[in-house]
Structure 1
Amino acid sequence: MAFRDDQIPIMEYTGGTMAVPAVPGAGKTFIVANLAARIIEERRHKPGKVLVVTYMNSAVNNFKSRISSVLKDKGITTTNDYEVMTIHSLAMKILRDRPDVVGVNEEFGILDDVRKVFYLNEAIEEWRKNNGERIFKSLLTDKAATNYRDKGQDWWKDFFSIADCLISELKLNDISPEKLRKYLEFLSHNSIIRHIYEIYRLYTKRLKTEGYLDYNDLLVLAYKALLRDEKLRDKFQSRYTFIFEDECQDSNLVQCKILALISENSGNLVRVGDLNQSIMGTFTSSDPRFFADFCKDAEEKHVMNMAGRSSKEIIDLANFLVEYARSNHPVQRCREALAEQKLRLVTGLEDFKNPQLEEYGIQAYYLDSWDEVKKDTIKKIIDFKSRCPEKTIGVLVPYNNHVTEIAGDLRRLNIECDELSNTAEKRIRVTKVLGNMLRFLGEPDNIHKFMSLIDVLIDDNSEEKEEILEFISKNKVDSLVRSDINLENTKVSRHLSEKIKEINKVLSVSQSSIDNLILHISTSLNLSTEDKAMAQAVASFVKYEIKENPSLTLEEISEQLLDNKKSVFKHMSDIIYDLQGYEPVPGRVTVATCHKSKGLEWDCVFLLCLTEYNFPALLNARFRSDYYYFKKEYTNPVALGKSEIQKLLGERGYDNPFLEAKIDVLNEKIRLLYVAITRAREYLYLVAHNGNQRFNPDKPSKYFEVLQKFIEGERTRKG
């Protein structure tokens, strides 16, 4: 196996602490898999094992496959010398061993994120009934208060995320509801943490009653168990003699402490990551400074800065962005947002050369409106697909609503696409199907409800869909479900008959509870594994809802399922559909948020919406993290709450937490832009637009202007 010049020092590692900062496209998975396999081949891990820790289940499967493949090539078939798991799986293994050490019943269950939505929603609703509604309204501006009837429900969905984030912060800082209650006297009457306290208490009480731990509990208690029980600590220190951590720029403090403690005896800890790809800190407890500190203190540090993914032109653009940020960013405190590690072309290995183009593959331009951007982008996609059908295409946008709009426009033109966002069409299709099915079952002779059900069951790209719906509108439900249909078009007749058979399977089931009915529907409709998992989550939700309100009707439940804004289903879909990995394929356009693009790559990338609002560079910009409907002193309740927590812990906290939060956002946004640019292999389109100046005042981002000037200079220089 041949390795690049920047990989050779890493492959020579024999033990100790080693930091591996790695640029995008450097091959982190490749090098970790090969180094782990070499340690196993040379039996340096004996008598223990090699442990690889990562953060996504899809990454776990990828690492297992890579390590197994490398070992197989070496003629080694062992599966007992290494383990690959998520940090939460590791914490579970620790806690299952000795739950009594931290006062946990050995029968404890793990509260998955789907059920967590139920419990936290329940706590918020109870708080809301007991004076919480009044408190919430007191946080609103006078203008927002007048719009509460129309907008309030959406604002409460935001509040769920606020409460979730701050409760996580409290847990990871080992502040239980009991501890917090003692601190209340030190908090002002209008403290956001004081307001969250009762929700936190109710949520924790429900977990204890049901015998559950959530994922934050799992990490904190696993760490405490290791600290308190010397035998338990010795056991895990002996079991894992070499530990690798992937994507460690996204680690939180407790995760770092667990791995440091397990590797304490052997001293063998390798952490791999990229500070410039830290894009989760503003909405999670991760912080890139933990990896930055490790890089300073590690016995060895080797930078993987050869990027084989992208062309020289795209590498030059990414490096220019780093140089601009570090030298000329208009906000002084943002000049260290990007680490000084420039991407280099791959040298020395003929088989791993960077893509090379005869033409300059980067363009930067702005248009008058978002509608113009969509039209122009789709036109260019169609042209690129016709010229390069074998190449992959990615469209990257800032937010989920952009994904939905672009994907919808593509589908209307029969262009196949995949959505990677929190509200992707495929994620909500199951709830649409279930909602329409329950709605029809509640009134099975209603032709309009039957038509809506058929509409959602038939793929939007089906050529026969319009003819089928027109035929249904002219008939009665009973004749249709009896298959007394007579269509001249046999293809249409066959398609409709298939859907009616599926509906009849559901109609044939004996009277059952609604949650069991939902499970029966999912079986009758031959759903995919992911969609069945979503249906099971919906069934659990419905069972919970009926327990709380036994008088719920099919119509009322269907209304909840068909409400696209209902946060509980959004949270469910985030969890279920993110379990699987994704690989772009030629012929299908990927439409993704910039956050969801991390870890992926495409031959051609369209990076849209490079506006000031989406990628701010100045402190006086509008910030999406600010809640415009809250009073000035509460515009960013998460930042305010985190600062209050730091003060409770005896740390100084920030005099102006809103300013610090804005700086964090600016830093993260430029890293997000860097991530998006480095997803492209050969072609890259940077597109900005002007917003409607009355309703959506916006203009091209400062970053777009700087990058456009660089691109035009390079294009002129290259002729």
Structure 2
Amino acid sequence: QGSRIVIQGYADLETELSDVARRAAHYAGQHPEDTVAILVPSNWVGYQVSDRLRDLQASYVELLRASGPSRGVARTLASLIRFLAEPLSRRNLVAVYEALVDYAGIRPQGPRHARVVAVLNSIQQPERLVYPAPGQSILEALPPIPGGLTPREEHTLERMQAVLAEGFKAITLPVDELVMTLAQQRFDKPGELAIAHRIAVHMRRLHDANPDWRLPRLADELYAVAEGELQLPGLDEQELGFEPAPGEITLTTLHKAKGLEWDLVYIVSVTPFDFPGTPGDVILGYHEGLGNPVEEAGAQLRGLMGHAERPALRRGAGQARSASEAAKLELVAERLRLLYVGITRARRYLFLSWSRDGGGLRRGKAVALEELERVVRLEN
């Protein structure tokens, strides 16, 4: 409506993220000369947005803890390694299929996918799919699937059988060689193989440092990368000297947005959980009784160094705050400073959003956003 700042509320987080992804993709397509960013308060929220942008086939680049390609390669290799370690597990067999389906760009969902998964879960001898009877293909070894298989599903199953068969031949090799054997069977793009090589090197270092770790434990490490809980060394070179490209959406956290600017900036999940307004708010990353260990330690150190009289540590009326209270106030201030950084990344247009519900929690609008909304109304 002519305003350079838009504040939008949604019923729930899922609707919010889907709509913001759709808006950003549409704008980038209509204005290829402009730069666009979606800034998120956490990597977890970023991964949800990434899934939606991928579904929309939008042109975007991730600057999260682990990029989409890194997570996809890690998830595929982790599922393959876990099945090789426990080949009698139907659950592991399904995980391999779903990883291959997901990485191929077919989201593992819907009735047809559920039918294939149900059949895989019903197989009494999963090893028969890896090594069918002489003269028999994996498709012939499968029990009947209601509605049959699509050509893409058939290709995925045949590819799965070929990769696993080669994996079993390489099962006695050092872990880095096993990883690269699986990667060369599954991936063909240079970027994917480069990521796999870094994963292989990392797995070898982990095994050398922990010689008692077996394949299931190493697979757990890869799953942590796939979920964005761990970051592998050397997978973030794209952030060095990064410059936003016109017509391409940048998806990144508010922390990593520092020093960058875009024509249009979307900031999602501006709720009290991520951007608290008072110490009484429930703050993500802070737990009563435990607090935020980093901030707690910092507050204690400042007190020991004689800086406990600074304003952030005063309760008022001459009473000093406890280290716990000071740490929580510092965390509130840090989150609000981060929101300010995000707001100032926008050159021309700014879109801020929040939702009432999400993740089983009542969320709502951040106090800072209410104040900004009041200012915008006055200016308009």
TM-score, shorter chain, exceeding 0.5: yes
Are residues 1:712 and 2:377 paired?
yes
Are residues 1:529 and 2:194 paired?
yes
> CA shift at 1:676, angstroms?
1.0
Whole-Å separation in 1 of the counterparts to 2:244 and 2:93:
36
Aligned residues: 345
> CA shift at 1:683, angstroms?
2.5
1:674 partner amino acid: Y
Corresponding residue of 2:169: 508
> CA shift at 1:668, angstroms?
2.5
> CA shift at 1:588, angstroms?
4.7
> CA shift at 1:480, angstroms?
9.9
Q: 1:682 to 1:513 in 2, by over 3 A?
A: same
Q: 1:559 to 1:688 in 2, by over 3 A?
A: closer
Are residues 1:433 and 2:76 paired?
yes
Corresponding residue of 2:263: 603
Deviations 1:63-90 (A, max 9, x none): xxxxxxxxxxxxxxxxxxxxxxxxxxxx
Q: 1:460 to 1:583 in 2, by over 3 A?
A: farther
Whole-Å separation in 2 of the counterparts to 1:481 and 1:620:
68
Residue pair 1:399, 1:593 contacting (<8 A) in 2 also: yes
> CA shift at 1:697, angstroms?
4.4
Deviations 1:173-215 (A, max 9, x none): xxxxxxxxxxxxxxxxxxxxxxxxxxxxxxxxxxxxxxxxxxx
The normalised TM-score by structure 1 is 0.41
Q: 1:416 to 1:504 in 2, by over 3 A?
A: farther
Corresponding residue of 1:589: 249
Q: Tell which structure's C-alpha radius of gyration is larger.
A: 1
Q: How does 1:64-463 map to 2 (within 5 A)?
A: 359-422=2-65, 424-444=67-87, 449-460=92-103, 462=105
Corresponding residue of 1:580: 238
Deviations 1:266-315 (A, max 9, x none): xxxxxxxxxxxxxxxxxxxxxxxxxxxxxxxxxxxxxxxxxxxxxxxxxx
**Higher RCO (CA < 8 A, seq sep 6+):** 2
What is the percentage of aligned positions where both structures have the same residue? 21
> CA shift at 1:685, angstroms?
0.7
Query: Which of 331, 340, 343 is residue 677 of structure 1 equivalent to?
Result: 343
1:506 partner amino acid: G
Q: 1:651 to 1:530 in 2, by over 3 A?
A: farther
Q: 1:519 to 1:480 in 2, by over 3 A?
A: farther
Corresponding residue of 2:293: 637
Corresponding residue of 1:476: 129
Are residues 1:570 and 2:226 paired?
no
Deviations 1:145-196 (A, max 9, x none): xxxxxxxxxxxxxxxxxxxxxxxxxxxxxxxxxxxxxxxxxxxxxxxxxxxx
Q: 1:380 to 1:436 in 2, by over 3 A?
A: same
> CA shift at 1:398, angstroms?
1.0
Residue pair 1:430, 1:535 contacting (<8 A) in 2 also: no
2:234 partner amino acid: I
Q: 1:651 to 1:373 in 2, by over 3 A?
A: same
Residue pair 1:393, 1:586 contacting (<8 A) in 2 also: yes
> CA shift at 1:687, angstroms?
1.5
Whole-Å separation in 2 of the counterparts to 1:490 and 1:571:
36
Residue pair 1:363, 1:686 contacting (<8 A) in 2 also: yes
Residue pair 1:418, 1:590 contacting (<8 A) in 2 also: yes
Residue pair 1:613, 1:621 contacting (<8 A) in 2 also: yes
2:168 partner amino acid: L
Show structure 2 runs of 5+ residues with no match: 141-148, 314-319
> CA shift at 1:482, angstroms?
8.7
Whole-Å separation in 2 of the counterparts to 1:587 and 1:606:
15
Whole-Å separation in 2 of the counterparts to 1:399 and 1:603:
22
Whole-Å separation in 1 of the counterparts to 2:180 and 2:135:
24
> CA shift at 1:394, angstroms?
1.8
Residue pair 1:368, 1:690 contacting (<8 A) in 2 also: yes
Q: Secondary structure of the equivalent of 2:266? A: strand
Q: 1:481 to 1:697 in 2, by over 3 A?
A: farther
Q: Which moved more, 1:444-453 or 1:365-374?
A: 444-453
1:598 partner amino acid: K
Residue pair 1:367, 1:373 contacting (<8 A) in 2 also: yes
1:590 partner amino acid: T
The normalised TM-score by structure 2 is 0.71
> CA shift at 1:500, angstroms?
5.2
Residue pair 1:450, 1:477 contacting (<8 A) in 2 also: no
